[in-house]
Amino acid sequence: MENYLYKVLLILTLFLFFLVAVDSNILNKHHRKSRFKPIYPDPRFPVPFPINDPTNPINDHNDNNNPTSDGGDTTIDEEITRGDFETDFNGAWELLSPNSGVSAMQINLMPTNKIIVYDATIYRISRIQYPPGVPCVPFMDEFTHQMKQDCFAHSMEYDLDTNQARPLKVTADPWCSCGGLAPDGTLISSGGFRDGSRTIRYYGGPNCQKDCDWREHNEALKEDRWYGSQTILPNGDFIVIGGRRSFSYEFLPKVEGQITDKPYFFPFLYETSDLDENNLYPFVHLIPDGNLFLFSNNRSLLLNPTNNKVVRTFPVLPGGSRNYPASGMSALLPINLNNNNVTAEVMVCGGNNPNAFFLAETRKTFLSALQDCNRMVITDPNPTWDSERMPSRRTMGDALILPNGQILFINGAQVGTSAWWDADQPNLTPVLYSPEKAKGKRFKVMKPTTIARMYHSTSAVIPNGKIWVAGSNTHDTYKDHDKFPTETRVEGFSPPYLDPKLDNFRPQIIEQTSTKDLKYGVNFETQFSVKRGFHLTKNDIKVTMYFPPFTTHGVSMSQRLLVLKNEAFVKDIIKGVFKLTSVAPPAGEVAPPGYYLLFVVHRGVPSKGMWVHIQK
Ligand SMILES: [Cu+2]
């Protein structure tokens, strides 16, 4: 009997608890619609995550239709897809280095967190000399016909941790060349000017661990590659396409020190060359079916790099010329691997009139750069260009894909073209582009810089999510005093996602317990924490992988961002750790082998990048 009474009491108690729980849930639901702020308990006991602060100005609980905050509601539906955090922070600039020694004409971020920079050697000057013990380079002075010594470094390794530059030695002129990061972490650069026009140069990788320098192999290419484009292929090899009067492409040798096999004549490059050329540094994007999208001047096509056949052609992009020297920008939009049919969409923006270079060169008349920005889904059966207007005109800009999938247009000028002294009115104002937003709402004007970054300027996404901005030299030498002096200053630009107010929502990858060696198509785990991530669900998190491009002349070669498919999501509330299982990209066509920066993105707010490596 006593036993029976106990049981009844226990059931009654449980029932009461249940009622209280239901009631508080109803109250919570009311709070959601109420204009009154909910009252928050005093966090007297240690809790795994800080309790929501209703005074925080960040919209923690917006949804796609209603981006206004109603305070710190805590009832979250697992199925809800919430929009990205909105912020009115429009970026910030800082000076990272007052003088990096070498003007950054060509750059590539390395998995060592160093940026390899090189300029042309033809100037025979920079702002940093070889250290003692490194012999100078003898050269023939073209004006005096005398042999002279060049003791200036034209390349350097920029350390992102210390912002210090270490001079490097490059001799065969890599002026207006191209390059890319090989799967083993070697930077491979090809082409250049005169003695460097057929050079393949190597830096770092397994052949060198510490204090590396360039390893140059001259006459390794079959044709001159001055203003050519280099792109990584699904198997990790490189193709190098075009260059001045080189209407062909070739495949870089698989082994360092060997020479290429043969050039493949490619009429498209000839057909798209006009009086001002306007077909140099063609835009090349590897798309997930393994074909290469090639854009030159105003035309584009799809090339199969394994059988060298043109797969299809695309509609002409009207409005002007897009490649060097008109110098527009292009990017492959993020590849979303959550879609069943993986599509590929490209964008081509800015540039100038086909005659703009001639007028700038001969009359110093600088035509206004183009202001249009165009997208095309190239995997569509009947693709067409969809055009919009950028907030400002831009030539010689960079189009960088940010870790969260936004595109940043940065650097360049508003009038004129590429080449020395051929532009004016620097475009000091970066523009952020959100490709997923509705047309008309995609562009956001950022805070301007004060330093002109025009011809021979560069920029790069670095692991902390900032943009490294350097270079700009509109002269055939180094000028200290000029309207546009030769720039060796390095700036850092923080995009809106680095708003300090978003820091509590920023994921932090726990590198020790996260997978860094990925295999195609195989699930892998990333662990991370978020200070204010108590209510985080799988839908709030994206994992992205960024291939660090080789950037020069407004072209970021091999640049791509992949949005991975997430499988499982486990919260270990006690430890404050999230464990996310994602599917590695399926194949080299989607993600060529090599090093990528992996980011965990929480509703648009990216973590710091972690280096991962992917292969078969
Ligand atoms: Cu150039």
Q: How far is the CA of 419 from the centre of ligand 1 (A)?
A: 6
Looking at domain 504-615, its CATH class is mainly beta
Q: Poorest-confidence range of 154-163, 295-304, 550-559, 566-575? A: 566-575
C-alpha 570 – ligand 1 centre gap (Å) = 50
pLDDT at 183 over 90: yes
Question: What confidence score (pLDDT) does residue 576 get?
Answer: 83
Q: Which residues touch 253 (CB under 8 Å, ≥6 apart)?
A: 200, 220, 259, 260, 261
How many angstroms does the Cα of residue 596 sit away from the middle of ligand 1? Answer: 27
Give backbone dihedrals phi and psi of 257, rounded to 5 degrees, phi first: 95, -15
Model confidence band, residue 72 (pLDDT cutoffs 50, 70, 90): very low
- Ligand 1 centroid–CA 237 distance in Å is 25
Assigned CATH class of 92-498: mainly beta
CA distances from residue 1 to 4, 6, 7, 9, 12 in whole angstroms, order as listed: 5, 9, 10, 13, 17
Other CB atoms within 10 Å distance of the CB of residue 28: 13
Distance, CA 268 to ligand 1 centroid (Å)? 22
So what's the pLDDT on residue 9?
A: 60
The alpha carbon torsion through 379, 380, 382, 387 (nearest 10 deg) reads -90
Distance 614 CA to ligand 1 centre (A): 33
CA of 579 to the centre of ligand 1 (A): 46
Cα 543 to middle of ligand 1, angstroms? 36
Q: How far is CA 88 from CA 147, 235, 328, 445, 540, in A?
A: 58, 43, 28, 11, 21
Alpha-carbon distances, residue 239 vs 186, 260, 292, 398, 546 (angstroms): 16, 10, 10, 22, 20
What are the tens digits of pLDDT across the range 307-343? 999 999 999 999 999 999 999 999 999 999 998 888 9
> 92-498 with 504-615: one CATH topology?
no
| Alpha carbon distance 93, 494 (integer Å) | 6
| Mean pLDDT along residues 597-615 | 98
CA distance 14 to 24: 15
Distance 374 CA to ligand 1 centre (A): 25
Where exactly are the structural domains of the chain?
A: 56-86, 92-498, 504-615
Q: Is 169 exposed, middle or buried (0-12, 13-18, 19+ CB in 10 A)?
A: middle
pLDDT band at 3 (very low <50, low <70, confident <90, very high): low
Q: What is the 3-state secondary structure (H, E, C) of 266-311?
A: CHHHHHCCECCECCECCEEEECCCCCEEEEECCEEEEEECCCCEEE
Q: Taking all residues of the chain, what is their mean pLDDT, rounded to a whole number?
A: 90
pLDDT at 69: 34
Cβ contact 52:505 at 8 Å: no
**Mean of pLDDT values over 257-270:** 97
pLDDT at 23: 38
Dump pLDDT digits (tens) for 450-486. 999 999 999 999 999 999 999 999 999 999 999 999 9
pLDDT of residue 53: 36
pLDDT at 5: 57
Kindly report which listed range (95-99, 112-116, 205-209, 492-496) carries the lowest average pLDDT score.
205-209
| Amino acid identity at 257 | G
From the CB of residue 128, how many other CB atoms can be counted at a distance below 10 Å?
A: 19
Q: How far is the CA of 192 from the centre of ligand 1 (A)?
A: 10
